[in-house]
């Protein structure tokens, strides 16, 4: 399934960063996606994955083993570099400053989550504007829907995993119900789109 707007949705080189939100059922889907991204990807990929605080080290080491790109946990005041994959540290909201550096906060949970997908997406939309791609994958709550709205309103590209394919359809469906989504795609097509727009 694909939902394309009437306006131009960008072309190769138009985008500077990708933000991804994923929750329940995400490890397998992220594995498929991150292991297939090319080593010459020019955009940073910044991810909020809901999980338990004890999962932190495993997450980074696992994806470093299977990805062609460097994978790390985002750090306070770290400059965002192209061609890298960053994960929000569990237990912290991940923000992006105007100068394209990370900031971490332990503010109240948003949508019962810290890190929150909405928090990342909203500040990424402020920082990157129309040069941002937002991707929302499987999950069992509605975190990310409001953030996707922010990305759309700032001119960015909104991409949602097809709920029929998602292990947990609630999160992608919440975005579809509340936001103008440019693409509703299975994970294989999301990968192809990211590579095409690189």
DSSP codes, 131-189 = GEEEEE---SS-TTHHHHHHHHHTT-EEEEE-TTTSSS-HHHHHHHHHS--SEEE-HHH
- Tens of pLDDT, residues 148-177: 999 999 999 999 999 999 999 999 999 999
Q: Which of 16, 23, 116, 169 is catalytic?
A: 23
DSSP letter (8 states) at residue 12: T
Counting residues of the chain whose pLDDT is more than 90, the rounded percentage is 75
CA 10 to each of CA 171, 175, 196: distance values in angstroms, whole numbers, following the listed order: 25, 21, 11
Read off the pLDDT of residues 28-53 as tens digits, 9 standing for 90 and up: 899 999 999 999 999 999 999 987 55
User: Among residues 143, 169, 182, 183, which one is catalytic?
Assistant: 143
CA distance 162 to 181: 11
Q: Is 143 a catalytic residue?
A: yes
> Of 18-22, 58-62, 88-92, 140-144, where does mean pLDDT reach its minimum?
58-62
> Among the options 50, 93, 182, 183, which is catalytic?
50
What pTM value is reported for the model? 0.92
pLDDT of 139-150, one tens digit each? 998 899 999 999
């Amino acid at each position: 399934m694909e939902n394309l707007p009437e306006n131009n949705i960008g072309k190769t080189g138009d985008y500077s960063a990708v933000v991804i939100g994923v929750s329940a059922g995400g490890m397998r889907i992220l594995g498929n996606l991150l292991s297939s991204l090319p080593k010459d990807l020019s955009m940073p990929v910044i991810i909020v994955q809901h999980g338990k605080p004890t999962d932190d080290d495993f997450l980074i080491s696992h994806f470093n083993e299977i990805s062609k790109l460097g994978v790390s946990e985002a750090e306070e005041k770290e400059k965002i570099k192209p061609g890298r994959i960053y994960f929000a540290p569990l237990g912290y909201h991940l923000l992006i400053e105007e100068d394209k550096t990370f900031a971490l906060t332990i503010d109240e949970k948003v949508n019962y989550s810290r890190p929150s997908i909405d928090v990342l997406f909203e500040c990424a939309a402020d920082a990157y504007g129309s040069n941002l791609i937002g991707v929302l994958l499987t999950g069992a709550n509605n975190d990310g829907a409001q953030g996707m709205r922010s990305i759309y309103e700032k001119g960015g590209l909104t991409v949602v995993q097809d709920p029929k394919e998602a292990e947990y359809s609630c999160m992608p469906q919440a975005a579809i119900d509340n936001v103008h989504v440019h693409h509703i795609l299975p994970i294989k097509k999301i990968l192809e789109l990211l590579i095409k727009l690189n």
